[in-house]
Structure 1
Amino acid sequence: MILDQGGKLLTFRRSRLANTIGVSSLAFTADGQLILVAQAKDNVGSPGLIAPSGSGALEPRDVPQDGTGLTLGDIVRRGAERELREECHISEQDIEVSAIVGHGRWVSRGAMPEFCVVTLLHLTSDEVLDRAVRLVERPYVTEVLAVDLAPITRWNPKKPLAMLPEEIRGSASWPLALGLACLAQSIVDQSWPLGQELMQRLPAQRQRRPVREGA
């Protein structure tokens, strides 16, 4: 159901699998830390692993009834921000801006399409971590983390996990690795609209600080 007779991925048009579109967000705080989510062991997508700031799939509510003029990119950003708000207990007002940085296909989940979004927050890392995980999200989210990434000069899309603190690299989920690889590619693109602002939040030389955990 995933590959054709030649061993190549089936196109979406030919696939008989569920038409699900995955969306993930890498959210950076005002003080330059990346927010991550530790998934519960019963989570379907990445059980027991470290996931992006928000991750899940598009839902019908991500397309408003009067959605005239919305592009696929608009809908993807809406879905990614919704997942982020739900899993990290933040509001629309806490989000500054979001931009898609890439997409791939999650082969072990039926080659599901997965879009990666980078989001800049108005909140500091302490403000995010001070918010308890919502009761409805506790079956899926065990804790929220705020981490420093490696200096930008060491970002490599071929080695995305090396961007993370060493103590959590072995627990990174596939969407997190994909998002980091896409981010490493985007940061060197001078036309990427969020590049300059993100770089201002991430000092070129920073000392590694311990991973901090939220409620």
Structure 2
Amino acid sequence: MGISTIALTTDGALVLVRQSERNVASALLLAPSDSGSLEPRDLAGADAGRSAQEILRTGMERELREETGLRAEEIVSTTVVGFARWMERGAKPEFFALTRLSVAAADLTRRRVASDEKLYSAGLRTVPIDLVALGKELRAGVDLLTASHLPRLLREDGSLPLLLAVRAAALWLVRRPDDRQEEAGAPPEPVPTS
């Protein structure tokens, strides 16, 4: 099961991973902050009544720490915002999330990816984005790739999982009140935008 998260810094930048030439699915393209698969260890404690979303968040945050060098205490929250099937990869299910961080983009400039990730990741990149403004454009019927609030770098170098994750997060942030599925009975926290 595929899992991808876009992480947003306190100053409204997306944390992205540049894929290396060895990456099978998205060689040399920008990928979400994490992009991988659930692993058996993500199911630990699943018998204790954890929901599917909690299991997905566990895997997403694990992948995020592995691929970006973020520490657990720098992850504020992760919200599952979308789902798709990647037809070119055998219709593999792919879940998308938005993760809020407690660090600014500048705090991530010297982060190192885990040594076992270096084969597939060519480094981190941060890109300012206004997800709410992008979501409003999408809600108004503008195509993602022509939306003025989609950063040019994402339009030109974004992988399919990254573009789908950005689209899902932007639409989730501007959903209509009757569309809302509030987590644990509490409204979502506002997301900082640039």
Shorter-chain TM-score range: 0.7 to 0.9
How far apart in 1 are the matches of 2:19 and 2:78? 23
Q: CA deviation at 1:96?
A: 0.4
- Counting matched residue pairs gives 181
Equivalent residues of 1:148, 1:164 under 8 A apart:
no
TM-score between the two structures when normalised by the length of structure 1: 0.77
CA shift for structure 1 position 180: 1.4
Q: Deviations along 1:51-88, whole A, 9 cap, x unmatched?
A: 00001000001011564201111111111111111000
Extract unaligned runs of 5+ from structure 2.
none
Deviation at 1:50, TM superposition (A): 0.7
Q: Answer with 1 or 2: which has the greater Rg.
A: 1
Residues 6-57 of structure 1, C-alpha deviations (whole Å, 9 max, x = no match): xxxxxxxxxxxxxxx0000010011111111111111123222110000100
Mark the runs of 5 or more structure 1 residues left unpaired by the alignment.
Answer: 1-20, 204-215
User: Contact conserved, 2:134 with 2:150, CA < 8 A, in 1?
Assistant: no
Q: Superposition pairs for residues 61-210 of structure 1, below 5 Å?
A: 61-65=41-45, 67-150=47-130, 152-155=132-135, 156=138, 159-161=143-145, 162=147, 163-189=149-175, 190=177, 191=180, 196-198=189-191, 201-203=192-194
Deviation at 1:135, TM superposition (A): 2.1
Aligned letter for 1:93?
E
Tell me: higher relative CO, structure 1 or 2? Use CA pairs within 8 A at least 6 residues apart.
2
Pairwise CA RMSD: 2.0
Could you say which structure has the higher helix fraction?
Answer: 2
Query: Hey, what does 2:24 align to over in structure 1?
Result: 44
Encode CA deviations 1:150-193: one digit per residue, 9 max, x unaligned.
Answer: 56334326633444321342221111111112112211124456
Q: Deviations over 1:124-162 (max 9, x none)?
A: 111122212232211011010100125633432663344
1:47-62 matches, cutoff 5 A = 47-62=27-42
- TM-score, with normalisation over the residues of structure 2? 0.85
Secondary structure (helix, strand or coil) at the match of 1:197 reads coil
Contact map agreement 2:131 2:169 (CA 8 A) in 1: no
Percent identical residues: 35
The question of 1:23 aligning with 2:3 is answered yes
The 2-side partners of 1:151 and 1:96 are apart by 18
Question: Once structures 1 and 2 are overlaid, which stretch shifts more, 27-36 or 152-161?
Answer: 152-161
